[in-house]
Amino acid sequence: TLIFGGQVVSPQGAAPADVLIDGEIVTAVLAPGAADALDVQADRRIDATGKYVLPGGIDVHTHMDMPFGGTFSVDDFETGTRAAAWGGTTTIVDFAVQKKGGSLQEAVDTWHAKAEGRASIDYGFHAILADVNETSLKEMDVLVDQGVSSFKLFMAYPGVFLSTDDQIIQAMFRAADNGATIMMHAENGAAIDQIVSRAVADGHTEPKYHGLTRPIALEAEAVNRATQMADVTGAPLYFVHLSSGDAVDVVAKARDEGRNVFGETCPQYLFLDESDLARPDFEGAKYVCTPALRPVEEQAKLWRGIRTNDLSVVATDHCPFCFTPDKQLGRDDFRAIPNGLPGVEHRMDLLHMGVTKGEISLARWVEIAAATPARMFGMYPKKGVIAPGSDADIVIYDPAATQIVSAQTHHMNVDYSVYEGWEFTGKVETVLSRGEVILENEHFSGALGRGKFIKRDLSQYLV
Ligand code: URP
Ligand code: ZN
Ligand code: ZN
Ligand code: ZN
């Protein structure tokens, strides 16, 4: 296959080039016209004139088919990976959830069973450490050898996922030993639960109180605490879903000191804000995720963090629940609203909006959405780059096309969109996964189960 006439975008910038693919692999990136001069015979020629040619997006934070609050996130590996592909994402890394009293291996085996035969794009797993004990600490080493080289811990959700500081520090010592990355959900959950109880006792049960009871200070406090523990232990530390400028400031300071501390944010924190939680008729429930959406002025601070690389990855935290019935569980009490937003389909487009609005460059777009996620989670250069030897995961993106987002037309298995009615400039035109065209002409053809598990290495950013 030869993709010709487009602008190939990488973290170094955009340049006109043609991409030659043999089977599943990129074999050459050629100067325009060189393919003809070399008399390259291609079975298939794809015209990308006027389009961007991007490494496929890598979303390192999704929750497919995840049990939560008595229900399950509504995208499974079939619908979720298909929706991802529609949005220009060709790799996801999903979270295998350890059960309390269960083993990490059991969690990963369960996730393999969920994904195998269903995923249409490639996928890897992180493991959620929900029960840190002698056994699960030992299992961390075993999972690293299986290509599950990152472990999420929670400072939030007491009684569900929360790890106490003694557990966190043990997991960090282990990670410092085996090189795994600790991923942290940084919010002071015990303190937040007290604030939540006070609000509910005062009769404040509407969705907006989900936001009002989770102050930024208790995110920044947890980020600081985890950063200090990582310093003491030497563990590589990656903060998931950072939502506030104060949290980013803590990360920035640690990075300035040369530490292996990294930050991720999500499109919802860049484009939505706390006023969405106050929408009437219980619509605010559609916007309940954790950390909560913040005051609108935080958005500019997060964009700045992306530019300074204190935030180096943008992932979705895709965790969809239907408005009816799932979110209705919390009609009378926001505590019972399943936490999470749908978003896996829209990350590339939303970040492209960051480009058109002048928040980031084209090069930075590809860096935060593909190249850095691949390096951060040990998949580079198989994924995240268009270069000889890399998997031909390629997106042809039309920067001039427009689209209007709606739950009527999106491909996620959820009955609402947090971006309903938004007009995006830019649209995915063609998607190749390991050399196979799986999306073109508004038609998806990726076979069920063609996606492969990616056995990941350690982070490629450790010093
Ligand atoms: O609200 C969210 N983010 N749900 C998913 C679980 C998590 O904490 O990432
Ligand atoms: Zn989280
Ligand atoms: Zn009230
Ligand atoms: Zn998450």
Global ipTM = 0.92
Ligand 1 site-directed mutation target among 289, 316, 318, 414, most atoms within 8 Å of CB = 289
216 Cα: distance to centroid of ligand 3 (angstroms):
21
Residue 13, pLDDT above cutoff 80? yes
Ligand 1 site-directed mutation target among 63, 242, 341, most atoms within 8 Å of CB = 63
Give the model's pLDDT for residue 254: 98
289 Cβ below 6 A of ligand 1? yes
Give the model's pLDDT for residue 51: 98
62 Cα: distance to centroid of ligand 4 (angstroms):
6
SS3 of residue 442 by DSSP: coil
Ligand 1 site-directed mutation target among 62, 92, 290, most atoms within 8 Å of CB = 290
Contact status, residue 378 vs residue 58, Cβ threshold 8 Å: no
Contact status, residue 293 vs residue 211, Cβ threshold 8 Å: yes
319 Cα: distance to centroid of ligand 1 (angstroms):
7
Residue 425 to residue 415: CA distance in whole angstroms: 23
206 Cα: distance to centroid of ligand 3 (angstroms):
6
Q: Which neighbouring-strand residues pair with 316? A: none
Residue 29, pLDDT above cutoff 80? yes
Q: Which ligand is nearest to the CA of 278?
A: 3
149 Cβ below 6 A of ligand 1? no
319 Cβ below 6 A of ligand 1? yes
109 Cα: distance to centroid of ligand 4 (angstroms):
19
Give the model's pLDDT for residue 379: 98
For residue 402, count CB atoms less than 10 angstroms from its CB and return exposed for 0-12, middle for 13-18, buried for 19 or more.
exposed
64 Cβ below 6 A of ligand 1? no
265 Cα: distance to centroid of ligand 3 (angstroms):
30
Each residue's pLDDT tens digit, 362-392? 999 999 999 999 999 999 999 999 999 999 9
Residue 79, pLDDT above cutoff 80? yes
289 CA closest ligand 1 atom index: 1
Residue 463, pLDDT above cutoff 80? no
Each residue's pLDDT tens digit, 212-253? 999 999 999 999 999 999 999 999 999 999 999 999 999 999
291 Cα: distance to centroid of ligand 4 (angstroms):
10
Q: What percent of the chain has pLDDT over 70?
A: 100
Q: Which ligand is nearest to the CA of 290?
A: 1
Residue 290 to residue 338: CA distance in whole angstroms: 10
Residue 261 to residue 265: CA distance in whole angstroms: 14
Report long-range pairs for 427-430 (Cβ below 8 Å, ≥24 apart): 427/349, 427/397, 427/398, 427/401, 427/402, 427/403, 428/86, 428/87, 428/88, 428/348, 428/349, 428/395, 428/396, 428/397, 428/398, 429/51, 429/396, 429/397, 429/398, 429/401, 430/46, 430/48, 430/395, 430/396
Q: What is the mean pLDDT of the chain?
A: 98
Which residue minimizes the CA distance to atom 5 of ligand 1? Answer: 340
Each residue's pLDDT tens digit, 291-343? 999 999 999 999 999 999 999 999 999 999 999 999 999 999 999 999 999 99
Which residue minimizes the CA distance to atom 7 of ligand 1? Answer: 290
Each residue's pLDDT tens digit, 15-27? 999 999 999 999 9
Residue 165, pLDDT above cutoff 90? yes
Q: What's the token pair of residue 386?
A: 């268009």
Residue 440 CB: number of other CB atoms within 10 A? 15
Residue 346 to residue 89: CA distance in whole angstroms: 9
Q: What's the token pair of residue 389?
A: 């030897």
Residue 69, pLDDT above cutoff 90? no
340 CA closest ligand 1 atom index: 1
Residue whose C-alpha is closest to residue 274's, from 230, 356, 215: 215
Each residue's pLDDT tens digit, 253-270? 999 999 999 999 999 999
